[in-house]
Amino acid sequence: MIEVRGLTKRYGDVLAVDDLSFDVVPGTVTGFLGPNGAGKSTTMRMVLGLDRPTAGTALVGGRRFAELTEPLREVGALLDPGAVHPGRTGRDHLRVAARTNGIPARRVDEVLGQVGLERAARRRIRAYSLGMRQRLGIAAALLGDPRVLLFDEPVNGLDLDGVRWIRGLLRGLADEGRTVLVSSHLLGEVQAIADRLVVIGRGRLVADVTTDELLRGPGRPRVRVRSPQPEALTALLRRHGLSAEPAGGAELQVEGGTAAQVGDLAAAAAIPLHHLSETAASLEEAYLALTGEAVEHPGRPVAATPEGAR
């Protein structure tokens, strides 16, 4: 388990992390989200003892990282896939880590197989692609068979097969009862695997909720309904206090009620329905709604070039 309590980090006049508190519990994948500069990487570095907090604590299994007697056996992390000696082979990189942490040499080949790098194990790391370096970093994180794992942007550089593989790996680690914290800007991937989401902005906690809670929001879900009598259905729903707006063709988007309520009202009024479903917001929509005010460097849309100026 990871416990963050009142964590604060200042770099001179810059407040990178501001009184941050949250838990990452075993058996779950927790997505760690926020705009660039929100403090995600700094927080993960403090959990791993790489940066000293200005205030507050970050504990792993009830202890600070510096107090762990066998850190690689208890915590695995991928923060920077480029932080490796380019002249070593992939196998040698892992062998050094294993030897210095008292980990059996057989684990090197086991994790190389787990991440799919057996054929590239004797190649110099300088010849590795970004995706291969990501896999090597993940292998290093898994080397001590730890119960707690932290990954910062683990999907960067991976091809489609690699993305599908890492998705299954992270889900499988959590299903084994491990504690998994994942930071990523690929919200579709986070939505596919995360049980819980911790969202920060400008170093402060914005949300600490289950993925389902964030997608559904504080109110009722939206309902999509299609009928050959959209005008009659719209009038009926509005009479009962529901919001009903056209969503293209004969389809309506309804807010303020459930699919069951919409279906019951339509059946009572003998209005046929051809489609009825509840929809949640995408993680991208929910995330942008939460963090819009916390973006450090918002871009501006490119102005359209007048036709005559082209």
Residues 98 and 121 in one domain: yes
In a domain, 299, yes or no: no
Residues 123 and 266 in one domain: no
- Looking up residue 270, the CATH number of its domain turns out to be 3.30.70
Which tens digit of pLDDT belongs to each residue from 55-101?
A: 999 999 999 999 998 999 999 999 988 888 999 999 999 999 999 99
Q: What is the DSSP letter of 63?
A: B
Cβ contacts of 203 within 8 Å, gap of 6 or more: 9, 15, 16, 17, 18, 20, 38, 39, 42
Residues 88 and 204 in one domain: yes
* pLDDT value at residue 222: 81
Which tens digit of pLDDT belongs to each residue from 215-251?
A: 776 555 689 999 999 999 999 999 999 999 998 888 9
Residues 207 and 245 in one domain: no
How far apart are alpha carbons 275 and 142 in whole angstroms?
Answer: 47
Domain closes at, from 167, 183, 215: 215
Which tens digit of pLDDT belongs to each residue from 252-296?
A: 999 888 899 999 999 999 999 999 998 766 677 777 777 666 555
* pLDDT value at residue 308: 55
In a domain, 163, yes or no: yes
Residues 25 and 122 in one domain: yes
With H, G, I as helix, E, B as strand and everything else as coil, classify residue 289: helix
Which tens digit of pLDDT belongs to each residue from 134-185?
A: 999 999 999 999 999 999 999 888 888 989 999 999 999 999 999 999 998 8
Report whether 224 contacts 250 (CB < 8 A).
Answer: no
Is residue 304's pLDDT more than 90?
Answer: no
Residues 137 and 29 in one domain: yes
Residues 91 and 206 in one domain: yes
Residues 153 and 137 in one domain: yes
pTM of the model: 0.78
Q: What is the DSSP letter of 281?
A: P
How far apart are alpha carbons 178 and 98 in whole angstroms?
Answer: 21
Domain closes at, from 172, 187, 215: 215
Range of the domain at 128: 2-215
In a domain, 297, yes or no: no
With H, G, I as helix, E, B as strand and everything else as coil, classify residue 84: coil
Domain closes at, from 180, 215, 250: 215
Domain count along the chain: 2
- Alpha carbon of 39 to those of 31, 62, 162, 201, 298: distances in Å? 14, 22, 27, 8, 16
